[in-house]
Structure formats: C-alpha cells, structure tokens
Structure 1
C-alpha cells in the first residue's frame, strides 16, 4: 500500500501538477512566455536524456541474462520506431504540400505545440482548428496513460528510480502542456475549458499508474522491457520532438544558453540519481 501511495503521488506530480504549473505560466504576458519557453524545452531535453541513459537503460540490463541483451536492445529500438508510428497515427495534422503550417502567428507556442503532438496545425479557423483541439485531448490522454504505466514500472523496480523517472516526466510535461493550451485556445476553447480538459487528460497518468501497479505487481520479469520502452519514449521525445525546435535560432548566444540548460537538466537528474542511490 505504501508503494501504491507513492505511485499515486508521483503520477499526480507528473500529470496534474504539471498542467497547473503550465496554467500559471500562461498567466504571463505572451512576450514573456515566448522568451521563457525555449529555456524550458532545453532543460527538459537534458532531463529526459539523463533519465534514459543514466537511470533507465542501466537498470534495464542490470541482472539481465546475456541472452536477453539483444531482445532488450531490440525493445529500445522498437520503442523508438513505435512511438514514431504512434505519433503519425494519432497526432498527424494534415497540411498541404507536406509543409509546416504556422499556427496563429505565435511561432514559439505553435512550434512547441508541434513538438510533442506530431505535426502540423490545421489552418487558422473552422473545422480543422476544432478537430486539432479534440485530437490534442485524445492524444494527451493516451500519452499520459503511458507515462503513468512507465512511472509505476519504475517504482516497482526501485523506488528511487521511480522518483527520478517521475521528475523527468514532469520536466517535459510542463512545456508540453503550455503547447497544449496554445492549441486548445486557438481551437476556440475558453480559458476555463482548456484548463478543464487538460486536467482531465492529465488524470489518465494516475489511472495508468494505479492499473499498472495491480497488473504488474506479479510480472517482475516483464519490467525490464517496460523500462526499455520508457527509455525509448524519453529518447524519442527529446531527439525527435524537442531538439529540432531548438534549431530555429542559431546565433551563438542562444546556442550557448541551450547547451548550458541541457547540461543543467542532465546534471540535475544525474545528481539526484546518485544522491538517492547513495553514490
């Protein structure tokens, strides 16, 4: 029961609280949001990659038999490719001639809305914009449910690993939720409705964690494969979705800020991981 309570608390941190933090962030002026959002993305990249390579992947292979190594490595590869296909199937935005569509004149929010939801915004008005908002809610619910399963899988392996994994989820969820708000508001949702639907979607993180706790408690042999999927998810989000958004600005000052914030994300996660493991 103690472990279940921890899973509920930290899936809530990774889900609901990240939405509320994003909602507070949106109270800032548009100019201020646009200035801060890229910094959050850079930090999230470092945190995600650190958890994948410093925490999850070593845990995947710890205690595994040599004959399992290829299957576990294949799971990471299959996970990366699978998340690409999932993003295409669930979150694809149709856009003429295969070009990126600008959203609403807000480059920073539109681009970040693109980063975690696979693609292109529909036009500026009408049915396309409405369907984009609906797709965000559905896609986020599925994504958050998977996050909850992955957090629970990490907790069932090691409590400290679960804490670090949930922190990494929260690190990338906050800037993601800011992008979600931008799309929902552009789709015609009021501030209150956008907040309500985002919170509702985030509750699926807790649901995924609780269901995983009861379903995975007696399936410890499968946990390395779920952790491999967790690692592939974080790698995919960081490399395929977040990093490309940083290349929009290439001046030296911005590039150095990005590198420093990525390093800060890596450093924080590695430090926390070493502290909780007594290194």
Structure 2
C-alpha cells in the first residue's frame, strides 16, 4: 500500500490495468486445455460467450453508465440510448465493411463468414475493454485530483474497481479465444487474439488518469457504446452459431447462454 501511495496516479493506473490485462490473458489461456470438442460442447461455449457479453453489457457497462450520467447531471436514459444505439450502428457498419474486405482476401484459408465472425468478436470485446480501462484510470486519477488526506481509502476503492474488472475479464478472455479456436485458428493464435483484446486497457487507464475531468464527461457514452457493440455481436454471430452447432438439441446453446450470463452477473453484483 505504501509503495502504491508513493506513485503518481498514472503509474498506479498503469499497474492496475496491467493486472486486468493479465487476467484477460489467463482466461484466453483456457484455449490450451481443449483438444477435441463435441458439437454440444461447442454450442455451450458459443452460448457461454454470448451470455458473458449480454450480462457484461448491462452490469459492467449500461448500469455504471446510467449512474455516472446521473452524477454528471445528464439525462441518464438519453445518454445510454444514444451510446447504445451508436454502438450497434457502428458494429453494423463494421460488419458490412469487413464483409467487403474479407471477400477480397483470396489467400485466407478460413471461410469468409468465419473470418468476419472472428474479427467482429475480437473487435467488440476490445471496444468493451476501452471504457473499462478508462474507468480504472479515472478511479486512480481522482485520488490525485481530490487533494485530500483520505488517499488510503480512495486507493482501496480504486483497487477494488481494478480487481472487479480483472475478474470479469477472465471469462471474457475465454469468450474470445475459444470460439476463435473452433473457427480453425491454432491454439497459440487464438490465445494471442484473446489476450490482445485486453491490451487496450493499460493505454486507456493511463489516459483516464491524465484526463480525469474530461474523460468523466464522455465515459457514460463510451460505456453504453461498448454495450451496444457487444449486444450486436452476441445476437448477430454468437447465438445463431451456438444454435447451429446442435440444431436438434438447442438446449445446449441455451444452457451455455444462461451459465455465461449467471457467471458475469454474480461477478458484477458480488464485486459491486
């Protein structure tokens, strides 16, 4: 604790977000534990990824965005509606653009749909991690900005934010790397993409620490924007793919969605 208190806020934020990135990498490393996976297990994994993203979109993104917008004396429902809608539209545009780019990649060994699905999945989780990194940075930057004597209590609160986000990142790392592996990627490459989805957090954390007041203003929009992007990918790619794996036994996909949702819900609610 003494060591952390002696550091500038941007260094505190950097250490905290390096931790959250590391937990993302740990979740992605689960891809090394699977050899062959049956169709019902695949359906559960795709469903699990969708459930994680749906739950995170509310408890990790929309709910904090609503609270933050209220604290900033903005109209909460309008802020989250704008951000959420723009997030979905942005992913829709990216979806169309990726489709055009993929069709022009004749040397790629993966079918176009799988390439597009992989890009959208990594892209959406990465977008989700940017506002989370900003949130950690703002939490640590606020300690220095406050200029009071309660630094120990404030740094404990900021560390709690970082630990909570880090634990949430574990299933999210798996939610990226495992579907990529099932799309034909090597385990190492799927792991690299999975952990790379969290690498934006240290950059965003340092930025948030430096720009506490201005980042606070746009953070509710950024959080809801990421939520819209995640819901788009979950509904457009992951849920249909989960059901397609076991058409005759769609309950496996539903079990996966529910288990992923419950895990993220428990983590978010328990960690506040």
CA–CA distance in structure 2, aligned partners of residues 116 and 207 of structure 1 = 17
- RMSD between aligned residues: 3.3
Q: Check if 1:22 corresponds to 2:31.
A: yes
Q: Check if 1:152 corresponds to 2:147.
A: no
Please name the residue that 1:166 is paired with. 169
CA–CA distance in structure 2, aligned partners of residues 160 and 151 of structure 1 = 12
Q: Check if 1:117 corresponds to 2:119.
A: yes
CA–CA distance in structure 2, aligned partners of residues 273 and 68 of structure 1 = 20
Question: In structure 1, the residue corresponding to 2:247 is in which secondary structure?
Answer: coil
Q: 1:150 to 1:90 in 2, by over 3 A?
A: farther
Give the one of 255, 258, 262 matched to 2:253.
258
Question: In structure 1, the residue corresponding to 2:103 is in which secondary structure?
Answer: coil
- With CA pairs under 8 Å and 6+ residues apart, which has the higher RCO, 1 or 2? 2
Deviation at 1:41, TM superposition (A): 0.9
In the superposition, the TM-score normalised over structure 1's length comes to 0.67
Corresponding pairs, count: 227
Q: 1:207 to 1:264 in 2, by over 3 A?
A: closer
Q: Check if 1:80 corresponds to 2:91.
A: no
Gaps of 5+ in 2: 1-10, 140-160
- Structure 1 stretches of 4+ moved >6 Å: none
Q: 1:56 to 1:247 in 2, by over 3 A?
A: same
Please name the residue that 1:176 is paired with. 179
Gaps of 5+ in 1: 96-101, 105-109, 119-138, 184-190
Deviation at 1:175, TM superposition (A): 2.1
CA–CA distance in structure 1, aligned partners of residues 168 and 135 of structure 2 = 7
CA–CA distance in structure 2, aligned partners of residues 145 and 53 of structure 1 = 16
Deviation at 1:203, TM superposition (A): 5.7
Q: 1:160 to 1:203 in 2, by over 3 A?
A: closer
Do the aligned partners of 1:7 and 1:209 also contact (CA within 8 Å) in 2? yes
